Structure 1
Amino acid sequence: MKFLHTAFLLCCAAATQAAPLPATVRQELKKAHIPASGIAVEVREAGRHKPLISINAQRPMNPASTMKLLTTFAALDLLGPAYTWKTEAYIDGELKDGVLNGNLILKGYGDPKFTIEQFWLWLGELRARGLRDIRGDLILDRSYFNLPPYNPGDFDADPMRAYNVGPDALLINFNTMRLRYMPEGNNLKVVSEPPLDGVTLDNQLTPKSDQINCDNWDDRFSVQPSGDSVVLQGDYPIGCGEREQNLSVMPHTRYVGALFGAVWKELGGTLQGKERDGIVGSNAQLFSIHRSEPLSTIIRDINKFSNNVMARQLFLTLGEAGPALEDETGASASGLNGHPLSIERSILTLQTWLARNRLDFRELVLENGAGLSRKERISVAHMAQLLQHAYDHPLSAELQASLPILGVDGSVKKRLKESPAASHAHLKTGTLEGVKTIAGYVRSKSGREWIVVFYINHPYAKSGQDAQDALLEWVAGK
């Protein structure tokens, strides 16, 4: 412990003209066995160039989900708060008396939040426009994103978790199924939402009444997709009461087809063919356009609830505002002109935007813009610089409104609820194995605005929340 204390003093002294970490923060880090080498901190008053605290501030660190701050702020500046995504419906064939002798084509442009409720309303509009029976296939045009093969299990070997859903130009309802487990006495009822046409739920779970830690209520059973079946096997702890999971159990194309089939039947329509991937042909006629919620609303969900797939959709959409690229023929290629968007294009767009705003983040490493990554890196000094740039921006209020409010909502709802700091900070958090981060704005009791960035990259990072909270309380008390 003596060595750890000395290391903190040396580290803090090395930060030019900066104050050391508050004693309460050092104490909490010692309790968590996190050394100075595992942290990076920058605290500065908004509008001031000189930081109050600066520790390992230039070191590239894994930011986890605080990387969403870069993605969402760049989107506000490049696309504007009123930006919306479109999804198009085309008919390829003759429509007469409600019967389409041909195919219905749905073309996506990356809407991050096309929910089941919105999808149901849109399909209802197609019915109102006179479409009833489709005597062809449902063709899904997902070509607007040019993406490499994606394995949802690559990140943490848990491919069905909702946070591992990959981006898709035609993302509907986050490609997830909600399983609701409802104990009824000694029996267990499991229902799935939304309904998926042709997909069956095979509940083989055995209700168990023995006592377990309900924090790990889903450790004793498995959920496995098997073709068009979802098989549940193992023991369910009925003492844990009603629970639910959001899981991704099938590929995008099959999911959209099954969801369309269920809703279309409910609306009185028929589909004779099957779902399949394809593109809008030259003979197809535009039938209807769905518009998403505006960007200003989308970023609230991304930041307050740290929605990874929405962030990845937005990151790819940034390519629409990027510099002109050349396709394989040498012609100019732009997402706005119908050419596909890619991760590479989005990275170039962000790099160009940073350079234009004189933000020289040389250590920045981007992979998906969501922070669900082992590769992404940024320093706390540059994250603080980004937050300062956002603070001075005309759209600063939109960004801050998207951030969780300490002790009130989002990912910091349960933190410092009884502290004087509650409600006095807008913060983005990030958590991965070995990573615990927080970044945002704190209003102190004197009325001053502070920018706080505190990253922990260490095997004991998950134990570092109390140290981060201690810093937030210290800043709020200034």
Structure 2
Amino acid sequence: MVKWISRRGFLAGVTCSLATGAMAEAPLTSMRPVARAAGENAVRQMIMRSGLAGKVGFAIADTATGEIVGAVLPNLAQPPASVTKAFTALYALETLGPTHRFETRLLGTGPVIDGILEGDLILAGGGDPNLVTDQLAELATGLKETGLHEVRGDFLVWDEALTNLAEIDAGQDDYVGYNPTVTGLNLNFNRVHFEWKKEGSDFATTMDARSENFRPAVTSARINIVDRASPVFTYRDVGDVDQWTVARRALNNGGSRWLPVRHPALYCAEVFATFARSHGIVLKRAKSIAELPNAHVLTTHQGVPMTQLMRGMLRFSTNITAEAAGLAATAARAGENRGLRTSALGMARWATDRVGGIAPEFVDHSGLGDLSRVTAGDMVRFLLAKDVATTLHPILRTIPLVDDNRQRIPDETALIRAKTGTLNFVTGLAGYLRSAKGREYAFAYFAADLDAREQGKLLGSENPPGSRSWNNAARSLQNRILRHWALRAG
């Protein structure tokens, strides 16, 4: 079991960064002198020999004493990327509670008489970031099972449970599915499935809202194939329709990919109406509303408990889940919805108050924006703060130790549970490590070449030249460092 110590005990045990040469910086101070660990010298040598462009910040602490036993540039603020989600998970769990569930409701504004709703039907989102098509099918079945078979009024959708975000990070390309719209009513991580197949000299295309059991076609997202070399995709907002084009030259004989949905509530409404119609309930074209009128509940779908939701977020690094959870937590604390930057600032202030002595900077809750900053030293302080490991350790993903050929090392005594983070020219990992000798650590590794990242962004490419090789090299260095602490120094 990972142990925690008090903040006072941790701060008393923190030692200096022990920086030398080209990596010198203002050191952390210790209340007692500590000889430089052999493990730390080994880490410095690994970083120097790697030749990795940019900078690396690393810190590792003994969880039993809180003592930093190895550090290189621990005060260097770097983009945490998706390591941010470790903060978000604790923020949501401690604010909303481990049993909190996002709820999607069907409401009626009038009485139901002989199976006829004498009023409007409202599909009201509660912010569930993991709602999928199969669950809308279940919601439609639940409506049928109430005995309802006709709606006399309008079909309305409400998505104001959370602050609506057109996208998480404006610096990303329009077509990347990991930069979705976020609203109070989401579906399939706010992505639509685009599939193409060569038929003669042309292509057949489909746009659908598929999940495990259903593939309903949608018209709220459309795509045209055009003759051009680049860009691969273009996007236009045409009223309530997402209009995409794709370059013919970019398509092979057949394939698919997910594209973002920028009108999630209407996308969700269209899919629900398809399932309702299959049960004989024909709905009018959906209309969005900003305020919920007085209405009664007809049926509901509850999302999974927050602990399960956060476990899935940390495992699969779903950005929409992080943003929905973070926005909901801030709204609960503030008593009202807040914008993304304000909410992220609130989470940073919470982290400072929660731990003390740390000062992270967040621009979102997912780590997609590259202006967020966390130091390796602050990350370790966070991981060692009271009750943090108790909550996070069980839901963090197990990271296997691998050799330089990426083959798993069969040493079951050593264990890493951590959160990864990756952007172009940015790599991070932070969490808990148990060495082969049974010693427990908290660690953080942040590497970034910010000059190369900025140059890559100017190219407008999802994978700018050199990014994959740099990220692979950064992860290899990360693995060598952790392998050293897990199998040798520990």
Contact in 2 for aligned 1:47/1:388 (Cα 8 Å) = no
More displaced 10-residue stretch of structure 1: 115-124 or 25-34 = 25-34
Query: Residue 68 of structure 2: SS of its match in structure 1?
Result: coil
The structure-2 alpha-carbon separation of the partners of 1:26 and 1:178, relative to structure 1 and needing over 3 Å to count, comes to farther
Are residue 74 (structure 1) and residue 70 (structure 2) matched? Answer: no
Partner of 1:375: 371
Distance 1:353 1:397, change over 3 A: closer
Aligned position for 1:470: 480
Matching of residues 1-400 of structure 1 within 5 Å = 7=21, 10=24, 17=34, 18-19=36-37, 21=40, 23=42, 26-27=45-46, 30-34=49-53, 38-147=55-164, 150-151=166-167, 154-156=170-172, 158-181=173-196, 190-194=205-209, 195-199=216-220, 204=225, 221-222=232-233, 224=235, 227=238, 228=241, 230-235=244-249, 238=252, 243-282=255-294, 284-322=295-333, 325=334, 334=335, 339-343=336-340, 344=342, 347-348=345-346, 351-352=349-350, 354-355=352-353, 357-361=354-358, 363-389=359-385, 393=387, 396=389, 398-400=391-393
- Matched with 2:443 is 452
Count of paired positions = 433
Provide the C-alpha distance between the structure 2 equivalents of 1:140 and 1:48, rounded to a whole number of angstroms: 54
Q: 1:113 to 1:384 in 2, by over 3 A?
A: same
1:433 to 416, 424, 443: 424
Equivalents in 1 of 2:244, 2:261: separation in Å? 7
Counterpart contact for 2:78–2:375, Cα < 8 Å:
yes
> Structure 1 residues 123, 233: closer, same or farther in 2, change over 3 A?
same
Could you tell me how far 1:469 is from its partner in structure 2?
1.0
Shift in alpha-carbon separation, 1:78–1:45, aligned structure 2, 3 A? same
Residues 231-267 of structure 1 deviation map (CA, whole Å, 9 limit, x = unaligned) = 444135648xx64322114422331232222222233
Q: Aligned partners of 1:346, 1:6: CA distance in 2, in Å?
A: 35
- Matched with 1:214 is none
Distance 2:318 2:22 in 1: 35
1:86 Cα deviation (Å)?
1.7
Relative to structure 1, is the Cα distance of residues 398 and 71 closer, same or farther in structure 2, using a 3 angstrom cutoff?
Answer: same
For residue 184 of structure 1, report the CA deviation from its aligned partner: 8.5
CA distance in 1, matches of 2:147, 2:118: 13
From the superposition, tell whether residues 174 and 277 of structure 1 become closer, same or farther in structure 2 (CA, over 3 Å): farther
CA distance in 2, matches of 1:108, 1:196: 21
Stretch deviating more after TM superposition (433-442 or 346-355): 346-355
CA offset digits 1:248-305 (Å, max 9, x no partner): 14422331232222222233320124332332213x2222232110111111221111
* Structure 1 Cα separation of the partners of residues 267 and 221 of structure 2: 13
1:371–1:100 distance in 2 versus 1, CA, 3 Å? same
Change in Cα spacing, 1:300 to 1:454, as seen in structure 2 (3 Å) is same
User: 1:25-62: CA deviations, max 9, x gaps?
Assistant: 64465444335xx1211011222222111222123221
What secondary structure does 2:120 align onto?
A: strand
Q: Indicate the RMSD between aligned Cα atoms, in angstroms.
A: 3.5
SS of 1:270's partner is coil
1:313 Cα deviation after fit? 0.4
Local SS of the residue matching 1:43: strand
Q: 1: CA distance between counterparts of 2:310 and 2:407?
A: 24
Change in CA separation of 1:475 and 1:187 when aligned onto 2, cut-off 3 Å: farther
Listed one character per residue, the Cα deviations across residues 90-127 of structure 1 (whole Å, up to 9, x for unaligned) are 11234333333432112222212112111211121012
Q: Judging changes above 3 Å, is the alpha-carbon distance between structure 1 residues 84 and 153 closer, same or farther for their aligned structure 2 residues? A: closer
> Is the contact made by 1:29 and 1:467 (CA closer than 8 Å) also made in structure 2?
no
TM-score normalised according to structure 1 size: 0.79
Alignment match, 2:399: 406
- Corresponding position of 2:409: 419
Residue 150 of structure 1 and its aligned partner are, at CA, apart by 3.3
Question: How many angstroms does 1:454 deviate by?
Answer: 0.8
Same amino acid, percent of matched pairs:
20
Contact 2:344 2:363 in 1 (8 A): no
- Deviation of 1:135 (Å): 3.3
CA distance in 2, matches of 1:184, 1:24: 56
Structure 2: state its 5+ residue gaps.
Answer: 1-18, 210-215, 453-469
CA distance in 2, matches of 1:103, 1:203: 35
Distance in 2, matches of 1:97 and 1:183, equals: 50
**C-alpha distance in 2 between matches for 1:14 and 1:77:** 29
Q: Do the aligned residues in 2 keep the contact of 1:253 with 1:275 (CA within 8 Å)?
A: no
Q: Which amino acid aligns with 1:359?
A: G
